[in-house]
């Protein structure tokens, strides 16, 4: 089947800087949606959304954490993070309380249930690798390259 006149008139030249398939933002958006979509069924038994899972990962690394520290490490604005933490608190996985070190800060702590959920979450990464069907070495290389780029273009501020 050949191209119609309309198709030929709108065909994008191979060197067009605005060609959709040449856009980094498009490739990253599709990859992001696809990878995050793979997490959804895997996280359902844990009763976590992907953003909630990220909060829990940060808390499993170190807790308690201030809301501002969580926002920085997760690269989220506090107004975006607060509802996530409130839902995790309602689910009994975390508590929010005033920091002993600084009354102006909220300390987010894991509950016993939040700590216990970590053992179940350890099954998530291998399930995601299986769901994506991509070679583990290839995923590790992609992760390393993306992390290096992120550190150059949007470094975390020093503690």
Low-confidence ranges of the chain (pLDDT < 70): 1-12, 157-159
What pLDDT, in 10s, does the model give residues 128-137? 999 999 999 9
Selected from 3.40.50.300, 3.40.50.720, 1.10.10.10, 1.10.1060.10, the CATH number assigned to the domain covering 35-153 reads 1.10.10.10
Cis-peptide, bond into residue 64, ω within 30° of zero: yes
Residue with token string 């053992």: 119
Angle CA(139)–CA(59)–CA(88) in degrees, nearest 5? 105
Long-range contacts of the stretch 111-119 (C-beta < 8 A, 24+): 114/56, 114/59, 114/88, 115/60, 117/46, 117/56, 117/93, 118/56, 118/60
What pLDDT, in 10s, does the model give residues 30-61? 999 999 999 999 999 999 999 999 999 999 99
> Taking the mean position of all CA atoms in its chain, how far away is CA 124?
14
Domain-wise residue ranges, the chain: 35-153
pTM: 0.85
Cβ count within 10 A of residue 135: 10
């Amino acid at each position: 089947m050949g191209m119609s006149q309309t198709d030929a008139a709108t065909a994008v030249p191979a060197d067009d800087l605005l060609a959709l398939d040449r856009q980094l933002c498009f490739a990253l958006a599709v990859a992001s949606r696809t990878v995050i979509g793979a997490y959804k069924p895997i996280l359902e038994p844990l009763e976590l959304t992907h953003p909630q899972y990220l909060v829990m990962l940060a808390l499993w690394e170190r807790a308690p954490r201030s809301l501002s520290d969580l926002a920085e490490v997760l690269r989220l604005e506090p107004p975006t993070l607060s509802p996530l933490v409130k839902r995790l608190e309602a689910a009994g996985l975390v508590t929010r309380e005033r920091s002993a070190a600084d009354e102006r800060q909220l300390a987010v702590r894991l509950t016993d249930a939040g700590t216990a959920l970590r053992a179940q979450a350890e099954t998530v990464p291998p399930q995601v690798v299986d769901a994506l069907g991509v070679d583990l070495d290839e995923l590790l290389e992609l992760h390393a390259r993306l992390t290096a780029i992120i550190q150059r273009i949007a470094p975390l501020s020093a503690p």
